[in-house]
């Protein structure tokens, strides 16, 4: 039914099967949309946020998707600025994943602010003393960059590409993509950093407070570093999941191996820096504020020292050592484990920096306060996941997301299909046009 | 927020924050305008010299 829209040289499942899949995931999406509308029409009393938890599950989800979405800016930086040509085979997918992550982050923020109609206040009535203002600016602008990076892929759809204007537009955008990628890297560096920079002003919360360089606490750099390190792992993880679901090899090993290797070294250096930061914080900063390390990991039913070990050792050093060794990253099972651990590690880091901070008592008469999100918060956090699955499914079906797919998965065409396949497209007509003297 | 808004103050914070925002938006705006105008001109001329 939709064969005219499917890229040439690739095979897709029958249209009814595709629609069924979209309908199932769409039901989850609608559940999230229902919860979102409850939050908008009835207010934030639909959540379990309270005086202790002004940030909730959403803000963790927000920071987590921004961190794992960092694969787009870092892969773009490597591809367009540092000229790593092997990554051209995975850059489309990295951009798509980044686009989903950042649009999800903006959606979550739109729910979280309670009154989305006043969302523009942050631009017009900007509080220029807030790092979160910079985050909002950079996040919105970088989403614009990702949209610009995603548009050429949409324009490469078989039917859209037949329109001369769109064909030329896509080509022109490809030509100056390095400018957009550089702008994206600049914006990403600052908003990832500013999210970590918040810790520098949390003087009243010794668990979070960090010292640093001038106005930037060390967490400013660690947040950017961790996003650049673990974002590509998320790109690899989603690529592997897509390959498993489609039962096809979609990206050449050279691209995956290069990204995994770079990511491995980034994770290793990040983990060393994070260990040094934690050591200094535990031995200098925390005692100077009248507390000890174990104050933050005892006398409560959930947060123990295990979370620190899990974040830095198990989800930091282990994936790093797997990915920096050729043997480790060439082993499929080890690669799966490494990228999964790396992604888990950065999500735990954001959890700790958002939710554990607020669980810890800061006044002598306070106790630990644990947090259980409401179903509306859970549904609206799952909403971006369903949206992401749907957008990936539609993009995979109708757009040439994986340039290596036809080569890696050659298909035997039936006579009827062959007839359809030779239907002249603008591109083919151009290729077959005799050269002019 | 622009310098002609009543809330505007000529200090480092406003210049750096809002200047950074305009700078990024200007690059994206000029880049996209260039692509769109060139695409329209190429399409009008029937310029088919590139394939990708």
Label residue A434 by pLDDT band (50, 70, 90): very low
CATH number at residue A390: 1.20.1630.10
Statement: residue A144 has pLDDT above 90: yes
Distance, in Å, from the CA atom of A215 to the CA atom of A225, rounded to the nearest integer, reads 18
From the CA of A187, how many Å to the nearest CA of chain B?
A: 8
Please indicate if any CB of chain A lies within 8 Å of the CB of B25: yes
Contacts of A388 (CB under 8 A, 6+ apart): A97, A100, A101, A104
Q: Indicate whether A143 belongs to any domain.
A: yes
Identify the pLDDT of residue A131: 78
* Residue that is written with structure tokens 């489609």 in the block: A246
Q: Indicate whether A339 belongs to any domain.
A: yes
Closest C-alpha among A153, A52, A164 to residue A98? A153
Residue A277 is part of which domain span? 3-402
Asked which of A1-10, A60-69, A93-102 is least confident by mean pLDDT, the reply is A1-10
Q: Indicate whether A413 belongs to any domain.
A: no
- φ, ψ for residue A203 (rounded to 5)? -60, -30
- The CA–CA distances, whole Å, from A312 to A275, A315, A341 equal 7, 6, 11
Averaged pLDDT for residues A134-163: 93
**B50–A187 CB contact, under 8 Å:** no
Write out chain A residues lying below 8 Å of B48, CB-based: 164, 430
Taking phi first (over 0 means left), then psi (-120 to 50 degrees means alpha), and beta for anything else, what does residue A361 get?
beta
Statement: residue A52 has pLDDT above 50: yes
Statement: residue B11 has pLDDT above 60: yes
Q: Indicate whether A312 belongs to any domain.
A: yes
Contacts of B5 (CB under 8 A, 6+ apart): A124
Structural contact between residues A208 and A357, judged by C-beta atoms closer than 8 angstroms = yes
Q: How many domains does one find in chain A?
A: 1
Distance, in Å, from the CA atom of A207 to the CA atom of A357, rounded to the nearest integer, reads 6
Label residue A54 by pLDDT band (50, 70, 90): confident
* Assigned token pair, A429: 């007509």
Interface of A with B in 157-196 (CB under 8 A): 164-174, 176, 179-180, 183, 186-187, 190
Please indicate if any CB of chain B lies within 8 Å of the CB of A127: no
From the CA of B7, how many Å to the nearest CA of chain A?
A: 8
Label residue A150 by pLDDT band (50, 70, 90): very high
Please indicate if any CB of chain B lies within 8 Å of the CB of A422: no
- Please give the helix or strand (H or E) that residue A312 lies within, else none: none
Identify the pLDDT of residue A266: 97
- φ, ψ for residue A380 (rounded to 5)? -75, -20
For A123, nearest residue in chain B (alpha carbons): B1
Identify the pLDDT of residue A98: 96
DSSP symbols for A292-308:
-GGGGSSSSSS--THHH
Q: Indicate whether A428 belongs to any domain.
A: no
Statement: residue A413 has pLDDT above 70: no
Other residues' Cβ atoms within 10 Å of the Cβ of residue A48: 15
Distance, in Å, from the CA atom of A11 to the CA atom of A413, rounded to the nearest integer, reads 10
Contacts of A218 (CB under 8 A, 6+ apart): A210, A211, A212, A273, A277
Share of chain A above pLDDT 70, in %: 94
Averaged pLDDT for residues A91-95: 95
Label residue B47 by pLDDT band (50, 70, 90): low
Q: Indicate whether A409 belongs to any domain.
A: no
Q: Indicate whether A120 belongs to any domain.
A: yes
Q: At what angle do helices A131-155 and A177-197 cross, to 10 degrees?
A: 150
Nearest to A128 among B13, B25, B35 (CB): B13
DSSP symbols for A147-209:
HHHHHHHHHTSTTGGGSHHHHHHHHHHHHTHHHHHHHHHHHHHHHHHHHHHGGGG-TT-TTT-
pLDDT in tens, A194-242: 899 889 989 899 999 999 988 889 999 999 999 999 999 999 999 999 9
Distance, in Å, from the CA atom of A212 to the CA atom of A201, rounded to the nearest integer, reads 11
- φ, ψ for residue A400 (rounded to 5)? -80, 70
Q: Indicate whether A54 belongs to any domain.
A: yes
Averaged pLDDT for residues A361-387: 93
Distance, in Å, from the CA atom of A380 to the CA atom of A67, rounded to the nearest integer, reads 19
Averaged pLDDT for residues A77-88: 92
Label residue A129 by pLDDT band (50, 70, 90): confident
Distance, in Å, from the CA atom of B14 to the CA atom of A126, rounded to the nearest integer, reads 9
Q: What is the mean pLDDT of chain A?
A: 91
Identify the pLDDT of residue A415: 55
Identify the pLDDT of residue A213: 87
Identify the pLDDT of residue A430: 44
Please indicate if any CB of chain B lies within 8 Å of the CB of A129: yes
Label residue B50 by pLDDT band (50, 70, 90): low
pLDDT in tens, A170-203: 999 999 999 999 999 888 888 888 899 889 989 8
Write out chain A residues lying below 8 Å of B52, CB-based: 170-171, 174
Other residues' Cβ atoms within 10 Å of the Cβ of residue A291: 15
Statement: residue A56 has pLDDT above 90: no
Statement: residue A426 has pLDDT above 60: no
Nearest to B52 among A126, A171, A190 (CB): A171
Closest C-alpha among A263, A346, A310 to residue A64? A346
Distance, in Å, from the CA atom of A85 to the CA atom of A83, rounded to the nearest integer, reads 6
Nearest to B13 among A129, A145, A190 (CB): A129
């Amino acid at each position: 039914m939709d064969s005219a829209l499917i890229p040439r040289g690739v095979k897709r499942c029958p249209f009814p099967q595709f629609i069924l899949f979209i309908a199932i995931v769409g039901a989850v999406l609608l559940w999230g949309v229902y919860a979102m509308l409850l939050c908008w029409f009835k207010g934030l009393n639909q959540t379990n946020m309270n005086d202790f938890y002004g940030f909730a599950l959403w803000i963790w989800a927000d920071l987590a998707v921004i961190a794992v979405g960092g694969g787009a800016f870092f892969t773009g930086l490597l591809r367009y600025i540092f000229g790593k040509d092997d990554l051209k085979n995975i850059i489309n997918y990295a951009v798509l994943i980044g686009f989903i992550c950042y649009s999800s982050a903006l959606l979550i923020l739109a729910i979280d602010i309670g009154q989305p109609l006043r969302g523009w206040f942050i631009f017009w009535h900007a509080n220029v003393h807030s790092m979160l203002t910079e985050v909002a600016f950079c996040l919105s602008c970088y989403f614009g960059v990702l949209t610009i990076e995603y548009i050429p892929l949409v324009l490469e759809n078989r039917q859209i590409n037949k329109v001369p204007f769109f064909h030329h537009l896509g080509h022109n955008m490809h030509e100056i993509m390095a400018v957009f990628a550089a702008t994206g890297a600049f914006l990403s560096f600052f908003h990832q950093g500013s999210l970590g920079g918040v810790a520098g002003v949390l003087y009243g919360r010794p668990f979070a407070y960090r010292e640093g360089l001038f106005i930037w606490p060390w967490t400013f750099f660690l947040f950017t570093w961790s996003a650049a390190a673990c974002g590509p792992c998320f790109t690899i993880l989603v690529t592997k999941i897509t390959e498993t679901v489609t039962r096809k090899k979609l990206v050449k090993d050279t691209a995956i191996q290069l990204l995994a290797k770079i990511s491995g070294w980034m994770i290793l250096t990040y983990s060393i820096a994070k260990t040094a930061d934690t050591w200094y914080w535990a031995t200098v900063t925390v005692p100077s504020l009248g507390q000890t390390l174990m104050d933050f990991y005892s006398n409560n039913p959930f947060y123990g020292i295990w979370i620190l070990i899990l974040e830095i050792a198990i989800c930091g050093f282990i994936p790093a050592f797997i990915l920096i060794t050729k043997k480790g990253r060439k082993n499929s099972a080890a690669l799966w484990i490494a990228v999964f651990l790396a992604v888990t590690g950065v999500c735990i880091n954001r959890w700790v920096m958002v939710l554990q901070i607020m669980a810890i008592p800061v006044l002598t008469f306070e106790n630990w306060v644990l947090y259980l999100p409401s179903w509306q918060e859970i549904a609206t956090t799952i909403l971006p996941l369903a949206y992401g699955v749907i957008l990936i499914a539609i993009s995979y079906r109708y757009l040439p997301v994986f340039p290596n797919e036809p080569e890696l998965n050659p298909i035997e065409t039936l006579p009827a299909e062959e007839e359809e396949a030779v239907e002249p497209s603008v591109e083919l007509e151009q290729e077959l046009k005799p050269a002019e003297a | 927020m622009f310098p002609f808004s009543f809330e505007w103050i000529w200090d480092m914070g406003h210049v750096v924050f809002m200047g950074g925002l305009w700078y990024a938006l200007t690059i994206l705006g000029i880049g996209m305008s260039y692509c769109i105008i060139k695409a329209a001109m190429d399409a009008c001329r029937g310029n088919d010299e590139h394939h990708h």
